[in-house]
Chain A
Amino acid sequence: MANPRAVLLSEWTKVRTVRSTVITLAVTFVVTVGLSAVICAVTNSNWKNMSPSEQATFDPTSTSFSGIFLGQLALIVFAVLVVGNEYSTGMIRVTLSAVPQRLTLLAAKAAAVVVLVLPVALATSFVSFLLGQALLGSHRTTLGSPHVLRAVFGMAVYMTLIALLSLGVGFILRKPVASLGLLMPFFFLISPILGNVPKIKTVARYFPDKAGTQMASVVGSSDIPYGPLAGFFICLAWTAVCLLGGYLLLHNRDA
């Protein structure tokens, strides 16, 4: 059987030797931190115009993560390209002839993604939080406040899970265009829209991005009937299903 450490090292070499890795992860960081900062600054200056109920349920922590709404798209591109590029160039056949053990290969790719995304996600969530709180002025919170640190770590975990989920979809749909064509509208349009449609939103609130929001919030959304821990498991379940589907297809389908 293939040596898992050797395969992990080889997958690590793959991700670090293409430009798209640095570009997509840098964009994830810059867009998330930047957009979050802008939203925090605007919120602070508009505080007086907010309704009393909005002021009462205001969550400075999740507000400082608002930019992830857009920033996660770059993260999805990164994870999709990790596998999609191999299919679009035909390199997957070189990969599978070097590592015919499909499970080892998929696990090594997932591990390489985690090793790279987790530090970027932690940096993104902490910088987003600290910069956002600085811009929120008197409405800020601190890392020491109840549940705040959990939410900041929750944000990083959410980003990592989204990357793994996208990797799984990349294995299922193979072509980067197909994977991005599904994931980008889903996270950017479909989930937010369905989340506001009566009846459908009772289902839509179990979507991975909604579950992720719960992980990264201190004051949970009143629409969502579960807490941060359940949110983590829901998000984890989506990720596991996508990776499992990817593995089954990788195992059974012609490369």
Chain B
Amino acid sequence: MIEVHELTKRYGDRLAVDRLSFQVPQGVVTGFLGPNGAGKSTTMRMMLDLDRPTGGRVTIDGKHYSQLSEPLRHIGALLEARAVHPGRSAYNHLLWMAQSNRIPAGRVGEVLDLVGLQEVAKRRSGGFSLGMGQRLGIAAALLGDPQIMMFDEPVNGLDPEGILWIRNLMKSLADEGRTVFVSSHLMSEMALTADHLIVIGQGRLLADLTMDQFIDQNSHSFVRLRTPEPEALLSALAAQGISAVPAHHDSGHAGSYEVLDGDAAAIGDLARDQGIALHELSPQRASLEEAFIRMTASSVEYRTGGEPPVPSAMSNQMPTAAPTAAPAPTDAPAWGAGWKKES
């Protein structure tokens, strides 16, 4: 169990983490979500006692990290994939880690098997691809067979097979009853893996809720309408007690409206009965990505110029929360097989 209490980190004038408090629930995957620069990595480094908090504290199983006598047996973390001496082999990298926490050397071979690196275990890790480096980092996190696992942006830079592998790994770790805490800046990624969400922006807690609650609250459906006769349509809808709001983002299409939780068939029938032309009538579902962007919009630190503060036009292009990410192509080689060809 990880408890974060009033955690604060200040760099000069800038508050990177601002009185952040949350608990990471046990036995599930918790997504730690926030835009780039929200303070996710800083928080994770403080959780591992790598960075000194300006204020507040973190406890792991009730203890401060530095009070854990053999921390790798409690918590396994992957912060950076490339944090390995390039001249040292994967085996020796895991061996020194195991020795430092009195983990039997035989466990090194086990975790190398688990991540599929046994064949390159004796080779210098400097020649590893990003995906192999990531697997080595995960092997290191698994080394002490810990109950708590922590991953900082684990899918960054990985190919689709690698992403799928990490996703399944995190789920299976949680299925084994482990606590998995994973950071990401992509809601769509978290929607596929996380059971619980902790959202931060500019170092402050924005939301701490289950994935189901987040979907209930944010994934509303609406009907999009476009008409050359907006006045007639609006009054006809109003007569039926249906309220439509202008679709603020489609500035190029005057006469676009949205009806929250509307019934597209009923609205279409109504327009036909009244003789009102409709150029668009489409049921829509707000994406979780959009909800996340809206939630964090006010806290995004660096925004590209010229964009509206709430880029809801993205709802047209962004995938919805439904698992739309393509599964690995069936004819593709197993992920991790790539290095065999290179060598």
Contact = CB atoms under 8 A, between A and B. Distances in A.
Contacts of A90: 80, 82-83
A99 B80 CA distance: 17
Given A13-B92, A96-B50, A97-B50, A6 B83 contact: no
A14 B50 CA distance: 20
Contact of B87 (A10, A13, A19): A19
B83 A91 contact: yes
Contact of B49 (A3, A11, A95, A100): A100
Interface residues of A, number: 32
A200 interface: no
B44 to A, nearest CB: 10
Interface string A77-102: 00000000110011101111111110
B225 interface: no
Contact of A93 (B66, B80, B97, B101): B80
A49 interface: no
B339 interface: no
Interface string A7-24: 101110110011110000
Interface string B82-119: 11111111001001111111100000000000000000
A89 B82 contact: yes
A145 B258 CA distance: 101
A97 B77 contact: yes
From B69, B77, B83, B84, residue with most partner A Cβ within 10 Å:
B83
A17 B88 contact: yes
B83 A13 contact: no
Contact of A10 (B50, B83, B84, B99): B99
A59 B111 CA distance: 59
A3 B82 CA distance: 27
B103 to A, nearest CB: 9
Contacts of A3: 69-70, 102
Nearest to B102: A6
B8 to A, nearest CB: 14
A98 B86 contact: no
Q: Is the interface of A mostly helix, strand, loop or mixed?
A: helix
A10 B65 CA distance: 20
Contacts of A95: 100
Interface in A111-168: none
Nearest to B89: A17
B49 A6 contact: no
Nearest to B53: A254
A2 interface: yes
Given A10-B99, A97-B71, A255-B51, A18 B45 contact: no
A186 B86 CA distance: 29
A9 B52 contact: no
A56 interface: no
Nearest to B79: A93
A1 interface: yes
A101 B83 contact: no
Contact of A13 (B79, B84, B96): B96
Interface string B31-51: 000000000000001001111
A252 interface: yes
Contacts of A9: 99-100
Contact of A2 (B82, B86, B100): B100
B68 interface: yes
Given A18-B88, A94-B79, 10 more contacts: A2-B100, A3-B69, A6-B102, A9-B99, A10-B99, A14-B85, A91-B84, A100-B48, A254-B45, A255-B50
Interface of B: 45, 48-52, 65-66, 68-72, 77, 79-80, 82-89, 92, 95-102, 140
